[in-house]
Structure 1
Amino acid sequence: MLNVRISSLPPDRQTAAKDCRRCIKRRIKCDRSTPRCRKCTIREFQCPGYDAIQLKWGLGVTRIQKPSERSSTSQSSTNTNDADISSAALVPRVGVSPGRDIVPRMDQNSPISITRTPSPTIDRPLVDSYTSAILSRNLFTHFNIKVAPRLTWVDRPDHPWRKVIAPLAQRSRCLGLSILSVAAAHLSFTSSNIPSATATPQSINHRLRDASLHMLNQKINTELANYHSTTDHLSRDSTLIEILATTLVLCYGEMLIPHSTDWNLHLHACRVLIERYTWRNRHSTHPNAAIDFIIREVADIEVFRNIGAFSIEQPFITDALHPRSKSILLDDYFHTFTGVFREITAEERRRYTLSQKVQAQENANQSQPPSPAPIDMAPWRAKVDLAHARASADTTRLITTHGTNTQKWMHSIVRAVYHASLIYAYQSLAPLPEATAEIGTSLPILLAEIEFLTAGPVHSFSHDIFVPLFIAGTECWVDQGRQEAVEGRFRELLAAMGIWCNFSALRFLKAFWGRGEYHRVGGWIPYARENEGDNGPFLVF
């Protein structure tokens, strides 16, 4: 007879905290060996593994509802489709226990009776609602702890992702689903040891994303249908903000998926929605924290998208978005640098357009507008220095309560972004001799800061390295050793951070390194401009 004596097993083996479900069902003592129990394996049973939370069916699961609860929780569910099923995985209400999550989803006509024990096979909706609530909690927690900090230069407990967007997601099923889908996407492409199961994080991401898109489409149709209606103005604004927040979250979700360029589609939609909201509220003086935060987020994404955008996104480069009010929630920590990047890009595009007009009129023998005069780089350097001073002051106040390592990382990030900004300014605007001299000074310092920031384990500022790393890579065209170092750092950060849109920036760098005719200081800019159609959009974020 096949048997496993637990006393004969190695005492130092890894064991689970609970018995496997099959041993529980068979009413035998489980040896709890991981990853599969040996009592199942020796009998060629498929061990179901060890659940962190095991459902135990008994009378304790159900309870008699109060009349007030019964009336408030009864709801019809006719013609349920996939989107409705997926939408059950909503962000849980804060402070509600798992046991209470089940009850509101039970209908008055539920076949479950308080006089019998529920059956896992008959009462499938009860199981689905419970597991859905657990999954929602886990995904929402993952978003707050792992994803939201990657979407901002410097994270803090009262960041608008938690202070503004999370409460909005509690009221919006559409937004809640999009947040859960982003968390699942991040899990899909950062977890190295995902257990094989029917519902992997990637499949969960697809289902939640599709459900969110379905509901988003319904919201957009409602918004368009009510355009000329007499519906309350605040109600219409609330719907539009919900649409905009969901679109922004979906944009971030696509940034986490390797080889996806759908973030560009969502980003364009965000711009259109913001313009619609701004026009509708052009006479309003009331601040709105949610819309201000969303506008700032979209504006920041556009800044780094426009670094590699030329003819296609030209209008968005010069027509920058700005929040309508200065909210205390909109910190300035690194956004001074973001503003400098925006101004540098806009000035480079303006000067290039003017030079093209001059050249075209020369070829046509027409009267010419004056050629762009050589730029005085002193004011531009002053802009970068001012951004550096503000960022240093802001971050010094922020990190006084943090440990020594955190303070060192933060100061190093500030220096890295400062030198990256200087290099970008001189690449884009300065005459070649002046640019060569300045970049020759700043590049070694930038590379040293990157080396310090990536030498140890992943930390809370690792995601901030992508922009300085990209700028450093644009000036490594002559040194294969530096190219390999930049590529290695890119791949390590991509795997750890899960911000896979930056892979398109690495792909761009590798293509540029292989084009010797463009190898000169700032040569990546004409390469990007002349090969934009072939390379496609890239984003360094």
Structure 2
Amino acid sequence: MSLRISSLDPSEPRASKDCRLCNRRRIKCDRSLPTCKKCDLRSLDCPGYGLRIRWDQGVASRGKLSGKALPIEDSPAVKPGAPIRARTESSLPSQTALESTFQSTQSAPTWSPSPAPTASSSSSSHPSPRASARIAISSLLSPSVPDDNEQSPLPRTPDYTQYNTGFNLNNPHALNIDFRNRPLLPPLRDPCAQQLLNYYDHIVSATFPWIEGPENHWRTVMIPLALECHSLLLALLAMAAEAYHSKHGREWYFQHISGPAQLRNECIQVLAHDLHAEMTDEQTFANVTKSSGILATILALCNLEMIKSDSALWRVHWSAARTITRRWTMPPRSPTSLDYNCRFLVVDAFFYDAFASTTTFDGNTPIPGEVVHPDDVDIFIEYFQLIQQITSAERSRHESGPGGDTADFLRSKISIRQEFEAVRLRNKGFDTLFQLASASRRHDFNAVIDMFHFAGLLYAYQVMLSPRDSEAARQECAETFVECRRQIHSVEGIQHDFVWPLFIVGTEARGHVELQRFIEDELLDAMSQSGWGNCVPALEFLRRFWQTGKDEMPNWMRMAREESKRGYKFLVI
């Protein structure tokens, strides 16, 4: 493999001289920052361009250090402000190595939101995510002793936060955590991690609620809990870094952390320890913060894996979420015994499970709708309690035939429609909870409710009625859904809600080219807006399904079940 110097981006910052490894190899160095790309191509550990300490047995001949051995230091080769490699890292850093890196940092400077730098100040390069943490070089040096002949001090550590650009932190609902004068968990001693948590606060957390507002629990519950729970903090930072990379096409810069891979690996290590303690302790909630932090971390990891289109780890985290939720809510315990934070986490786990269960056929028992505390019944919860019952009925009918366990309302088309209409009416009374500012926004909110209504109704018809008896009703649901979507004035802040109903309507688009094009465009727009790639496997499935004939493949659930047996599983959320 080779690298042409002419192929490098001329706008990227460069070191002022070659790296020492290229010098020894007698080849032209590309001087990329923070490390040489030619070394990376050869899987060599580039030493970088910065401060190098050589220990020598010489002694000082002047000043207060006369007669004492001194380190000999090369003059710095990196321009002030350019990123440098502060340490090397391994693909799976140990807890000890990570802690030593964080602890070697003195006091992290406080970061406050400011106007984003111009594009010319940003860089698309990022420290290579390979090599292991080592103690900062400053901790190896004795305190400096004043001397008349002393050289001028070395440049301060570059401010890496200036390289994280392309966004504005102006969300009026953000918490804007003040990191000064408060104890910080090790990751937050990196000022870039503080900046990243602010990015999560303003931008990433806004993609989780049905409609963004002051009661966004992925902000108001998760962030305060993350300041106390190490594993959750690591998960939120990893998710925010991945979301930034997905949306902007470049890595997030850190000063003392290698990147999201290190954060995720460290998170899983800490979580595994906490899970073992939780599952072996008969007294659940002996430590409420730790218990709630476990489920919060698992849910954050579930969503982290949704950012990439090719990740299958969501199934592992989903299984853990099911286990913890049942442990908290099944007899002898009940949802009524949970505190506010835990109840929110249970509700979110239920939503995730209801979404995931519709497209997965693993034979495992889903989380029942009864886990939701009566006081927590809120927007869309009743819809997904119906959806979960429909999914359970489909699985039961597949295993036991038409006589399988089925909820009463699913026994006829009329009763199905009546149940959904009653839920739609109650959901339209929730708009006051969102402090919607304008009549236009209330109109859009009601249109989203209608989209879920007709998608859910369509799903029920697909499962419970014969294809011939339900064909006209299913076509009506799909057409009305499209009309509801086109009535929305502004999709800002709600476009991520469209994904599941779009998929369900997409399963009715076989043979309808215009509807297929509409579904594709909407799913791609939703991914573009959020920066998450979780719709890609679902869209690929729909494209394969659209190519089948009705005689070959009667319905999408049969195809999804057959592909699941071959290992192809996907999630729509």
TM-score, length-scaled by structure 1:
0.69
Q: Which amino acid aligns with 2:275?
A: I
User: What do the CA deviations read for 1:269-290 (whole angstroms, capped 9, x no partner)?
Assistant: 1111223344697289643112
Specify whether residues 21 and 86 from structure 1 end up closer, same or farther in structure 2 by C-alpha distance, changes over 3 A only: same
Residue 379 (structure 2) pairs with residue 333 (structure 1):
yes
Measure how far apart 1:305 and its partner are: 0.9
Q: 2:268 is matched with which residue: 191, 205, 213?
A: 213
Residue 204 (structure 2) pairs with residue 144 (structure 1):
no
2:37 maps to none
Residue pair 1:309, 1:537 contacting (<8 A) in 2 also: yes
Same amino acid, percent of matched pairs: 20
The CA RMSD over aligned residues, in Å, is 4.5
Q: In structure 1, what is the Cα distance between the partners aligned to 2:152 and 2:233?
A: 30
1:29 maps to none
User: What do the CA deviations read for 1:386-429 (whole angstroms, capped 9, x no partner)?
Assistant: 1211111112x145641344233212211111111111111111
1:406-485 maps to which residues of 2 (within 5 A)? 406-453=441-488, 458-485=491-518
1:390 maps to 426
Residue 69 (structure 2) pairs with residue 84 (structure 1):
no
2:411 maps to 375
Q: 1:494 is matched with which residue: 527, 532, 540?
A: 527
Gaps of 5+ in 2: 1-12, 17-76, 84-93, 113-135, 162-185
Q: In structure 1, what is the Cα distance between the partners aligned to 2:411 and 2:188?
A: 62
1:525 maps to 557
Specify whether residues 399 and 82 from structure 1 end up closer, same or farther in structure 2 by C-alpha distance, changes over 3 A only: same
Measure how far apart 1:465 and its partner are: 0.9
Q: In structure 2, what is the Cα distance between the partners aligned to 1:271 and 1:138?
A: 32
User: What do the CA deviations read for 1:18-59 (whole angstroms, capped 9, x no partner)?
Assistant: xx9999xxxxxxxxxxxxxxxxxxxxxx997989x9xxxxxx
Q: In structure 2, what is the Cα distance between the partners aligned to 1:86 and 1:486?
A: 48
Q: Which secondary structure does the structure 2 equivalent of 1:190 belong to?
A: helix
Residue pair 2:278, 2:284 contacting (<8 A) in 1 also: no
Measure how far apart 1:459 and its partner are: 0.5
Q: In structure 2, what is the Cα distance between the partners aligned to 1:441 and 1:80?
A: 57
Q: In structure 2, what is the Cα distance between the partners aligned to 1:280 and 1:382?
A: 32
1:58 maps to none
| Greater per-residue helix proportion | 1
Specify whether residues 80 and 296 from structure 1 end up closer, same or farther in structure 2 by C-alpha distance, changes over 3 A only: closer
Q: In structure 2, what is the Cα distance between the partners aligned to 1:322 and 1:164?
A: 22
Q: In structure 2, what is the Cα distance between the partners aligned to 1:458 and 1:111?
A: 58
Specify whether residues 154 and 179 from structure 1 end up closer, same or farther in structure 2 by C-alpha distance, changes over 3 A only: same
Give the total of aligned pairs. Answer: 440
Q: Which amino acid aligns with 1:313?
A: G
Residue 295 (structure 2) pairs with residue 244 (structure 1):
yes
Q: Which amino acid aligns with 1:174?
A: S
Q: In structure 2, what is the Cα distance between the partners aligned to 1:127 and 1:497?
A: 25
Q: Which amino acid aligns with 1:179?
A: L
Residue pair 1:458, 1:496 contacting (<8 A) in 2 also: no
1:178 maps to 235
Measure how far apart 1:165 and its partner are: 2.1
1:516 maps to 549
Q: In structure 2, what is the Cα distance between the partners aligned to 1:406 and 1:280?
A: 42
Residue pair 1:86, 1:211 contacting (<8 A) in 2 also: no
Q: In structure 2, what is the Cα distance between the partners aligned to 1:424 and 1:476?
A: 13
Q: In structure 2, what is the Cα distance between the partners aligned to 1:273 and 1:357?
A: 32
Q: 1:260 is matched with which residue: 308, 311, 322?
A: 311
Measure how far apart 1:475 and its partner are: 0.7
Q: Which amino acid aligns with 1:450?
A: R
2:344 maps to 293
Measure how far apart 1:126 and its partner are: 11
Specify whether residues 513 and 145 from structure 1 end up closer, same or farther in structure 2 by C-alpha distance, changes over 3 A only: same
Q: In structure 2, what is the Cα distance between the partners aligned to 1:426 and 1:337?
A: 15
Q: 1:165 is matched with which residue: 208, 211, 222?
A: 222
Residue pair 1:86, 1:208 contacting (<8 A) in 2 also: no
Q: In structure 2, what is the Cα distance between the partners aligned to 1:281 and 1:48?
A: 64
Residue pair 1:305, 1:539 contacting (<8 A) in 2 also: yes
Measure how far apart 1:260 and its partner are: 0.6
Specify whether residues 126 and 516 from structure 1 end up closer, same or farther in structure 2 by C-alpha distance, changes over 3 A only: closer
Q: Which amino acid aligns with 1:242?
A: G
Residue 570 (structure 2) pairs with residue 538 (structure 1):
yes
2:22 maps to none
Q: Which secondary structure does the structure 1 equivalent of 2:569 belong to?
A: coil
Q: Which amino acid aligns with 1:315?
A: T
Specify whether residues 87 and 164 from structure 1 end up closer, same or farther in structure 2 by C-alpha distance, changes over 3 A only: farther
User: What do the CA deviations read for 1:102-148 (whole angstroms, capped 9, x no partner)?
Assistant: xxx9x999955697999557x87999999954312222122222222
Q: Which amino acid aligns with 1:423?
A: L
Q: In structure 1, what is the Cα distance between the partners aligned to 2:343 and 2:104?
A: 28
Q: Which secondary structure does the structure 1 equivalent of 2:429 belong to?
A: helix
Q: In structure 2, what is the Cα distance between the partners aligned to 1:266 and 1:184?
A: 19
Q: In structure 2, what is the Cα distance between the partners aligned to 1:457 and 1:210?
A: 39
Gaps of 5+ in 1: 1-19, 24-45, 54-78, 100-104, 359-368
Q: In structure 2, what is the Cα distance between the partners aligned to 1:437 and 1:424?
A: 14
Q: 1:353 is matched with which residue: 388, 396, 399?
A: 399
Residue pair 2:207, 2:496 contacting (<8 A) in 1 also: yes
Measure how far apart 1:257 and its partner are: 1.6
Measure how far apart 1:434 and its partner are: 3.2
Specify whether residues 219 and 432 from structure 1 end up closer, same or farther in structure 2 by C-alpha distance, changes over 3 A only: closer
Q: Which secondary structure does the structure 2 equivalent of 1:175 belong to?
A: helix
Measure how far apart 1:448 and its partner are: 2.5
2:63 maps to none
Residue pair 1:83, 1:214 contacting (<8 A) in 2 also: no
Q: Which amino acid aligns with 2:315?
A: N
